[in-house]
Amino acid sequence: MIEYKNVGVSFGKFNVLSNVNFHVEKGDFFHIVGPNGSGKTTLVKTLVGLLKQSEGTIDINTKNMGYLPQKLNLKNLIPMTVQEVIYSGFKKPKLFPSKSECQLIKDWLKKMEIEDLFGHSMNYLSGGQQQRVYLIRALISEPDVLILDEPTSALDPSFREKFYILLHEIQRNNKTTIIHVTHDLTDAIKENCKIMYVDQTIKFIGSYEDFNKFEHRGHHHD
């Protein structure tokens, strides 16, 4: 579904990523981990088309991708309501969603525990509430591939756990491919997932079990 061949990204003379080779199959739950500044966000930006690679090829076999960016800097934006942000997640802009779409939005607001906030301005929401709204925005068009860059950074621990359970439901029920960038795998569900360790290049790809062995060997410190 997604294939990277010898992909490199440079900013001027600075090589952020080089020789990146991996593929993602339909239905994969793919965790991307790595230290600060290792190129994780840069990698997902090439995936969603926000950044062009400097070398190599990227093949993507779907058009319907949902994306939750890492930086949600709303302070600089025009004031928007929760409703407007969620509607902007539809692939084709629309003023009035269909009945079934409205129901879907309602269900998600409930699952994200923000059902009372639909008409509110985003500026009145806390960071964690805003993050939940952006999650709904990414989910609302029922994408084939969901790309989440640090989606739980502003969520409190109890909701974080619920959120990962919800993600697994989406993956199972809709066969959604999920690509998840994180610093912290603690709460993420690790069964049947793939883990990719990035540090300028791909240092490891495999199961969680093998990832633990890799970490024990301390390979990511060399």
List residues binding ligand ATP (CB under 6 A): 11, 16, 34, 36-42
CB of residue 40 to ligand ATP, shortest distance in Å = 4
Q: Whole-number minimum distance, CB 13 to ligand ATP, in Å?
A: 11
Return the closest-CA partner of residue 8 out of 204, 205, 203, 201.
201
Which residue lies nearer to ligand ATP by CB, 40 or 137? Answer: 40
Q: Work out how close the CB of 41 gets to ligand ATP at its nearest, in angstroms, rounded to a whole number.
A: 3
The secondary structure element, H or E, covering residue 105 is helix 99-111
Length of the chain: 222
Question: Minimum distance between the CB of residue 150 and ligand ATP, rounded to whole angstroms?
Answer: 7
Triad 13, 68, 61: Cα angle to 5°: 75
Nearer to ligand ATP among residue 38 and residue 140 (C-beta): 38
Decide whether 42 or 131 has the Cβ nearer to ligand ATP: 42
Nearest to ligand ATP of 34, 151 (CB atom): 34
Q: Which residues contact 108 (CB under 8 A, 6 or more apart)?
A: 136, 139, 140
